[in-house]
Amino acid sequence: MGRRRGVMSEHFKEELAKELGFYNKVQQDGWGGITSKDAGNMVKRAVQIAQGKLKQN
């Protein structure tokens, strides 16, 4: 069984990390260096953005 592909693009993840204030950690240590709280906040923000786009339609 292979590794799952991510749903979010690398660019989108980077933009979220910048918005949430931990992009420097990603640059230093990669995605494996962020906390689970930061990852959860990133997913939460991505869901908020997606919901906002659905409401616009």
DSSP 9-55: -HHHHHHHHHHHT-HHHHHHH-GGGS-HHHHHHHHHHHHHHHHHHHH
Q: Give me the residues of the chain with pLDDT under 50, please.
A: 1
46 in Cβ contact with 25 (< 8 Å): no
Domain-located, residue 3: no
Tokens at 32, concatenated: 């494996």
Domain-located, residue 4: no
Nearest of 21, 6, 20 to residue 49 by alpha carbon: 20
Domain-located, residue 19: yes
- Tell me what pLDDT residue 2 has: 55
Question: Where in the sequence is the domain holding 25, given as residue range(s)?
Answer: 10-56
Domain-located, residue 44: yes
**Domains contained in the chain, number:** 1
42 in Cβ contact with 13 (< 8 Å): yes
Domain-located, residue 1: no
- Tell me what pLDDT residue 4 has: 63
Domain-located, residue 5: no
